[in-house]
Every structure is written in structure tokens, then in C-alpha cells.
């Protein structure tokens, strides 16, 4: 039996820049659509360097300027249970996609996709802004907002009708 909720996991390397930004934006989009009881969102990193830390200060500041709250989020690492728990496991780039595919049981790999598959923008990876300036965090938000809109439309059209 399928869960009544569609569960989405956003994944980047350290879970302090890209994936928590996507997490916060998607939560807000889901709330605005009145689907909070039907769609659950989380984020994680493939690495363990920042477990328990808040998102990067620059990510929080950029998000706050656009009305997104990242302050309550804390970094965690992808774990084995995630592959059974989540319906969508969305990698921010090809490296994280490969890491997730390597970690995943073979029967769960169909859940792993690139996050930007859900945008019409001509780019496949959300660039890591960690070593750059504030403009990188703005670019991440632009890409994430577009992909979140596409993801929500996809889930509403395919998943929620079937549940």
C-alpha cells in the first residue's frame, strides 16, 4: 500500500547550501498550494562534515531576502532508510547523483533523479555556491524556485491523482 503522502528528499554534498535552500523553497510552495498534508519534504547531504549545523549563513540570508526560512533546518547525512522512505530523492548535481546511486539498493534507484529535471532551464546541475560570493546563492535560488514549481506541478499531475 502506498503512503498517503508523497515524500521528497533534496540532496547536495554537505546539506548546508543547495539542498536546504531547495527544502525551504519547496516547503513554502507546498504550503501555498495547500498540500502540506499530502507532500512531505526533507533534505540531506551525501557527506558528513556539517551534521547538526544550520545552513550556511549566506544561504540563510539569500533565502530570507526572498521570504524563505532556513533557520530551523539542520544538516544531516543521507542514510540507508532514506531509500525506502522517500518517493523522490533529488540530487543537486551529477556527483551527488552518482553517490546516491552507489549508496542505494538496486530496487530503489528509480527514485533518484537530478533536481533540475523539473525545470525548463537549460542546465542540469545546481552549482555549489559555497566557495563563491552572494551572487552564487542568488543563482541557486533562481534555479531552485524554477525546479520547485516544476516538481510541484509534476507531483500534482502524477502522484497526487493516484493516491
Active site residues: 12, 18, 128
Query: Residue 118 — φ and ψ, nearest 5°?
Result: -100, 15
CA distance 8 to 23: 9
SS3 at position 114: strand
Strands (E), the chain: 6-12, 39-45, 88-91, 112-114
For 120, the grid coordinates are 525548463
CB 60 within 8 A of CB 21: no
How many C-alpha atoms does 155 have within 13 Å on its Cβ side?
A: 23
Amino acid at each position: 500500500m502506498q503512503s498517503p503522502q508523497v515524500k521528497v528528499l533534496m540532496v547536495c554534498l554537505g546539506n548546508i547550501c543547495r539542498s536546504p535552500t531547495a527544502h525551504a523553497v519547496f516547503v513554502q510552495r507546498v504550503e501555498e498550494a495547500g498540500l502540506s498534508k499530502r507532500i512531505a519534504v526533507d533534505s540531506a547531504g551525501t557527506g558528513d562534515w556539517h551534521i547538526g549545523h544550520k545552513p550556511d549563513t549566506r544561504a540563510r540570508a539569500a533565502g530570507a531576502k526572498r521570504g524563505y526560512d532556513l533557520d530551523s533546518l539542520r544538516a544531516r547525512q543521507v542514510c540507508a532508510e532514506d531509500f525506502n522512505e522517500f518517493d523522490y530523492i533529488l540530487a543537486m548535481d551529477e556527483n551527488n547523483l552518482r553517490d546516491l546511486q552507489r549508496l542505494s539498493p538496486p530496487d530503489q534507484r528509480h527514485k533518484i533523479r537530478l533536481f533540475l529535471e523539473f525545470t525548463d532551464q537549460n542546465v542540469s546541475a545546481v552549482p555549489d555556491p559555497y566557495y563563491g560570493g552572494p551572487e552564487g546563492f542568488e543563482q541557486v535560488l533562481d534555479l531552485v524556485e524554477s525546479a520547485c514549481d516544476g516538481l510541484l506541478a509534476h507531483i500534482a499531475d502524477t502522484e497526487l491523482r493516484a493516491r
